[in-house]
Each structure stands twice: as C-alpha cells, then as structure tokens.
Homo-oligomer: A and B are copies of this chain.
C-alpha cells in the first residue's frame, strides 16, 4: 500500500507486451535493427533480460510483434483512404504512398517485415483490403492475385534497393568512375556522368521517391491495361 523505504523508489512501471514492443521499436529507430538485442531491450526497460521472456516467447516472437506493430500503423494510415475517393488506381496509389511514408520513418522495418515467414493478422488485414479494392474495380480473382505478386513489397510501400545511394556520390567516387574504370564499365560511367550533371546532386545520387513512384505507376498502369481484358 505504501512506497518502500528504499532510497530511489521510482514509480516502477510493470512490463507488458505492449511496453516491450514499443521499446523495441524505439531501440531499432535509434540504432538500427542490429542494436535490438534482448539484453539491451531489457536494460532500456530497467529490467533483466529474462523478464522479457514472460511477455514474449523468444526473439523471433518479439520481431513478429514489432512487425505487426508497424503494420498496424500502416493500416491506420491507409484505412483513412476510402475507396469512394476516386478510381482504383489513385486509391491504390495513395494508400501505397501512405504506407511508404510510415516505413520511411522506420528504415529497419522492411527487413524485419520481409523476414517474417508467418503473415501477421495486420498484414492479412492490409492485403484483404487491397484485394477488395481490386475486385471492386473489376479485376478477376486471378488478375488480383497476379497483381499482388507483381507489386510484391511495393504493395506495402517499400522496395529493396540494389545500390546504396544514401551519400551524395562525393568527388572521389565520381572521379573514380570518370577516370579509373571508364573503359571497364562504360555504360555505368555514361549514366553516372549524366546524372551528376543534373540539378541538385547534393540530395544524393537518385531521387528515391521519384523512382518509387515511377516503378509503381509502371505496374499500376500495366494492371489497368489488363483489367477487363478477357484474360
């Protein structure tokens, strides 16, 4: 009924699955997925590693929960975009870009989501609503199915980039391409040269947002063309 006589009897918030998962997201947001360990998570929560195992079966289940939590954010954001607000393509586009916005705030999340072998209830809900949108727009079940595969992770707002363009391609790297290996990779050299001539390269090599939308529209337009065809 009364605080102990212990020196610093901080109001000790008890653990809970919710609290554990939220702390895990926080840890990953700050230091990347590599910094999310059971031991560090416990430390952040002011408890002991083994205490986590009461709320979460093991690390794999922790990651399941974390993925589900992020997908929950996505569902909340995309749920607001109603089917009534336009043709299927603009609605799908808006939803996918909304999902992307959330994932941009959790750069480690795509990797975690991808690594889950079992679909969480959140991802089932997300895909169910996307399928509903397509069927309502007149897609055959088969075409809707192919559409999901064709979109792949893009349906949830992310792509796996094959090249790291996070830093602006400094002069050293540029020099490297233009002089050192121009004859070994002539076409890449041409491309790099061309891109670096374009406006603000200070932002980084490529405009990821533009490229994401370009690829997304390519697929959505292709699907629109197949919709209604006899199949």
Contacts and interface: CB of A to CB of B under 8 A. Distances in A.
Nearest to A135: B187
Contact of A150 (B185, B190, B194, B214): B214
A128 interface: yes
Contact of A222 (B117, B125, B212, B222): B222
Contacts of A188: 124, 127-128, 131
A139 to B, nearest CB: 11
Contacts of A142: 194
A211 B132 contact: no
Given A160-B152, A162-B123, A141 B215 contact: no
Contacts of A212: 149
A181 B153 CA distance: 24
A115 B217 CA distance: 26
Interface in A126-164: 127-129, 131-132, 135, 141-142, 144-146, 148-150, 152-153, 155-156, 159-164
Given A114-B160, A164-B118, A222-B222, A191 B145 contact: yes
A77 interface: no
Contacts of A132: 186-187
- Copies of this protein in the assembly total 2
A184 B132 CA distance: 12
A135 B219 contact: no
A222 B211 contact: no
A218 interface: yes
A112 interface: no
Interface string A153-196: 10110011111100000000000000001001111101100110
B211 A149 contact: yes
A145 B162 CA distance: 13
B190 A135 contact: yes
Given A206-B149, A215-B149, A190 B141 contact: yes
Interface in A184-231: 184-188, 190-191, 194-195, 206, 211-212, 214-215, 218-219, 221-223
Interface string A102-125: 000000000000100111000111
